[in-house]
Amino acid sequence: MKVFGVTSPYTGSGKTTITLAMLSAMKNSTSAKIGPDYIDKDIHFAVNNNMPYNLDRWIQGNRYREIFFSSLRGFDYAVIEGVMGLYDSGSPIKLSTMYYFTKMKIPYILVVDAYKVAESGYYIARSFIGKLCIGVIINNYAGLRHLEMVSKPFVEHGIRIIGSIPHDDDFSLPERHLGISTDTSPDKIKSIAAKVAKHIELDFLDDLPEIYPDPDDAENPSFENSKNNIWVAKDSAFSFYYEDSMVALRKLGKVSFFSPLKNEEPIDADMIYLGGGYPELYIEELSRNHKTKNAIKNFAESGKIVLGECGGLMYMESEISKRNGKRPMLGIFEGLVEKNSKLTIGYTQMKVVNENPVFKINEIVRGHEFHYSSIKDAGKKCLRMEIGRGIDGMDGLTHLNSFGSYSHFSLFRYRKRIGRALDKIKK
């Protein structure tokens, strides 16, 4: 297995496009995304149909390395896409791309956006070229003369140029909510990746060292337990999931998927998981699909576990507001969801202050929030925000054994708690 990273001095330099191109060109390859981003990694999946994992010490805890290496089983190559700029973090603990590359000894390629610079590109980039840097990709150059000016200092200083990507509007991927639009078709993504890949030389792969994960780092992600029936909402409204959460659920039971947008219902379920997404874009469909709504509401009222995160929490509320009125949702909780013009985004840290089906009282739990909405709900909450916004300084709405939060979690980190809760309910 050969592993390398893709990073840049600052965000918007083309890391995702370069990562897609690499995945397109390398056979039997997989990828990972540093940080809590669940959009870019799904774009990776469109290129090679291998679901990437996130690499995030804040959310996953100290087992982030184990989770990452477990995802590499059976692949020849893996590329890790960094977050923001190489040294950016903005968090209370070390979470920059450079932290992970240094800690895990991952060699990396630096993507240099040359569109507004010439020879200065090298002098901007040189403080980002460390011992682990194996070369640069010059991205977005305007013409051959421009490329010569940008390239010259790199060549003179012995920096390997792995690829040179010209400016081309056909290479652009549409963006939405600080990431690539989830509406972009897989065929378009594949086409762009293949075109960009033609401008990259892959002979650098020959010089990369082989990585052999420790046996303790290589849990089998394909293992599936049949002890419980776990149903996960999966469609255009609910699509934001961490792959290690799926691994955790497979360790607890048989995982099946259903679509609230198609009015499907989970059958013989022991637990229902409603992940994040864009339910606000599908209010009418979700509101009128009564078969799904009744099935989930009755399941929750029976005392079984419904877990909802962000979009899932919004769906669990009583109503979602829109311009021409309000539309009824599941009604597991009694609140109203309203759209905000301002994005709430960032890591969260919470202290558990009330009983709930997942966490212990006084435990400190960590997650991530990302939403353009706010919720008015006076219901019982079990989490007090120490970092992040949540719902007016609290989070974790509870009703019987249902739990909903604005925060997204790594269920792998908390899988034993969920397993014990499932066992308790089934007794």
Could you read off the pLDDT of 52-73 as tens digits, one per residue? 999 999 999 999 998 998 888 8
**Is 153 or 176 the better-scoring residue by pLDDT?**
153
The pLDDT score that the predictor gives to residue 23 is 96
Q: Which two tokens stand for residue 239?
A: 């699509």
Which residue's structure tokens are 């840097």?
133
- Quickly list H helices, 77-118: 97-104
With H, G, I as helix, E, B as strand and everything else as coil, classify residue 92. coil
Res. 212 pLDDT band, cuts 50 70 90: confident
Residues with Cβ within 8 Å of 358's Cβ and at least 6 positions away in sequence, in order, are 307, 403, 414, 417, 418, 421
- The most confident of the ranges 165-169, 174-178, 207-211, 333-337 is 333-337
Does 351 have pLDDT greater than 90?
A: yes
Go through the chain and tell me how many residues it has: 427
User: What gap in Å lies between CA 145 and CA 142, rounded to an integer?
Assistant: 8
Q: Which phi and psi angles does 301 have, rounded to 5°?
A: -70, -20
Active site residues: 310
The pLDDT score that the predictor gives to residue 306 is 98
The pLDDT score that the predictor gives to residue 176 is 47
Res. 214 pLDDT band, cuts 50 70 90: low
CA of residue 211 relative to chain centroid, distance: 24
Per residue in 242-261, pLDDT tens? 999 999 999 999 999 999 99
Q: How are the residues of the chain apportioned to helix, strand and coil, as percentages rounded to the nearest 5? A: 35, 30, 35
Q: Up-side HSE of residue 206: CA atoms within 13 Å toward CB?
A: 4
The pLDDT score that the predictor gives to residue 323 is 86
Distances (CA, A) of 238 to 84, 120, 235, 309, 366: 25, 44, 5, 10, 21
Does 241 have pLDDT greater than 90?
A: yes
Domains parsed from the chain with CATH numbers? 2-216 (3.40.50.300), 229-426 (3.40.50.880)
Q: What is the mean pLDDT of the chain?
A: 93
Does 14 have pLDDT greater than 50?
A: yes
Count of beta carbons in the 10 Å neighbourhood of residue 416: 12
- For residues 19-28, give the mean pLDDT: 96
Res. 177 pLDDT band, cuts 50 70 90: very low
Tell me how far apart the terminal alpha carbons of the chain are, to the nearest angstrom: 44
**Is 60 or 220 the better-scoring residue by pLDDT?**
60
User: What gap in Å lies between CA 192 and CA 197, rounded to an integer?
Assistant: 9
User: What gap in Å lies between CA 207 and CA 192, rounded to an integer?
Assistant: 27
Does 238 have pLDDT greater than 60?
A: yes
Smallest Cα–Cα separation from 358: which of 298, 411, 421, 278?
Answer: 421
- For residues 403-420, give the mean pLDDT: 96
User: What gap in Å lies between CA 115 and CA 363, rounded to an integer?
Assistant: 48
- For residues 374-395, give the mean pLDDT: 97
The pLDDT score that the predictor gives to residue 194 is 95
Does 356 have pLDDT greater than 90?
A: yes
Does 174 have pLDDT greater than 70?
A: no
Q: Which phi and psi angles does 405 have, rounded to 5°?
A: -140, 155
The pLDDT score that the predictor gives to residue 171 is 87
The pLDDT score that the predictor gives to residue 386 is 98
Does 133 have pLDDT greater than 70?
A: yes
Does 336 have pLDDT greater than 80?
A: yes
Does 398 have pLDDT greater than 90?
A: yes
Per residue in 303-326, pLDDT tens? 999 999 999 999 999 999 988 899
Does 219 have pLDDT greater than 80?
A: no
Rg (CA), the chain: 22
**Is 150 or 40 the better-scoring residue by pLDDT?**
150
Distances (CA, A) of 228 to 38, 334, 398: 26, 29, 22
Does 222 have pLDDT greater than 60?
A: no
What percentage of the chain carries pLDDT values higher than 90?
Answer: 83
User: What gap in Å lies between CA 85 and CA 88, rounded to an integer?
Assistant: 5
